[in-house]
Structure formats: C-alpha cells, structure tokens
Structure 1
C-alpha cells in the first residue's frame, strides 16, 4: 500500500520536517495544526475561541485536500496550554462536527509552537 503526501495552500504550510498529512490506503493522518492563518503564516488575532476556530478550519482544509471531511474524522487529539479552555473546545467542536463524534483526547501541555493556546491533529477513515 503506497503513501500519498497531502498538501494544500488552504492550510498553513509545513514549517518543519513534516507533511500536512499522509494518506495510506483509506486512512489519512493529519499533522498538528495551530491557529496560523494560511495566507500570512501568522497567528490569528483574537481569543481562544478564534484560535480554536482557525485550527478547525486548517484541519478541515487538509481533510478536504485528502478527499475527506470532518464526517470522516475517527480520532481527534486536542492539546491546550490551559485546560480550563476545554468547554470552549466542546462548544466550537459541536458547530463543526455532527454525531457520532470522533474519539478524542485532550492533553494539557506547557507550551505550543508560536505560543499558540491550542493545537489539534486528527485521523480520518475514508472508507466509512
């Protein structure tokens, strides 16, 4: 089974030694996204809700470039520098996802690249 590199200009470009996503068969592994605006590669201005929305928009763009969408997400990992923001993640996530929701983990971390308050990665199943 071959690997396909997924790349789109509608999400932030990889700034290190990684790909935006890798597709293996019907599974897509999305790299972590922080709240960078794709056109400027600068952090989005605003509070944690705006950051979370930007991360979801970035993930969605990569998922779509791979031939999927949020309905195909089976696993979502959320990294927060402040776990008290988790209710905001839930509220915003309910606007982007329909039931059944993907499996999910929420991890509190000391810091994220570019001082982001949130980062997320995901796995998609395009066969379901």
Structure 2
C-alpha cells in the first residue's frame, strides 16, 4: 500500500498557510504553489515579474530536488499570473529552467495572490 511522504526544505519558501511544500506519493511529486518569496528572508524578492519568476522557479526546483526529482522530470505545471500581459516575459524565463519536451502547462490570470505576488507556480513531477 502506498503512503504519502511530506517534503519540507529550507531551500524554498516556507508555507504561508496550513499546507506542505510538497508531497511524494508512489512515483509522483506534487509541489504546492510557490511564489517569489526568498527562503532566507521570507519576503517577496524585489525586481518585479522577472525576479519573482526566477525565484518562484528556484523554489519549485528546490522542493523537487528535496523529493529526489528535478525540473527535467516535471509532467505538469500550473502558472498563475496577476497580469496576463506578463505572459511573454514569463515564457522567456521559463525556457531557462525547462528544456525541449516541455511539461504540459496551464497559465491563467488571477485577481490576487498572497503577499501581493505577481506569479505563482505549482507542479507535478515523477521521481
């Protein structure tokens, strides 16, 4: 019988509510929505959408690696943007972290996010 394993790392932002950073179940890794909060300061990074996107993806990467996975093993990504006009900027940075044979992805504009974040990303990967 499978059992879920909670993933927690100091290399990514601390949860801003009652949830886990990640969960491993069987060979799948589920990464909770991450924003551009720097793990050492607990504050949103400065520099707008570019800096927030890089920190968000760095946070996702840290959780995946803590779970024994990596960005190369990501199957599905959900991206939430405060402003859909940031879509092209996010795509250009996204390609720095993900290579060809990209994971499937959904990208939506949302009204607001915790701490005034511009972007939030969640992911599902395999180990």
TM-score by length of 1: 0.96
Match of residue 2 from structure 1: 3
Residue 37 of structure 1 aligns with which residue? 38
Q: In the aligned structure 2, how far is the partner of 1:119 from the partner of 1:85?
A: 13
Q: 2:56 maps to which residue? A: 55
SS at match of 1:42: coil
Q: Helix, strand or coil for the counterpart of 2:52?
A: helix
How far apart, in 2, do the equivalents of 1:108 and 1:120 lie?
Answer: 12
**Which 4+ runs in 1 deviate beyond 3 A?**
none
Unaligned runs of 5+ residues in structure 2 are none
CA positional deviation for 1:110: 0.5
Aligned length: 126
| Contact map agreement 2:33 2:123 (CA 8 A) in 1 | yes
Contact 2:48–2:118 (8 Å) recurs in 1 = no
Deviation at 1:30, TM superposition (A): 0.2
Normalized against structure 2, the TM-score is what? 0.97
**What residue is the counterpart of 2:107 in the other structure?**
106
For 1:85, the equivalent position in structure 2 comes to 86
Alignment of 1:17 onto 2:39: no
**1:75-127: per-residue Cα shift (whole Å, max 9, x none)?**
0000001001000111001111111000000011000000000000000012x
Q: Let me know the Cα RMSD of the aligned residues.
A: 0.6
**What's 1:117 paired with?**
118
Unaligned runs of 5+ in 1: none
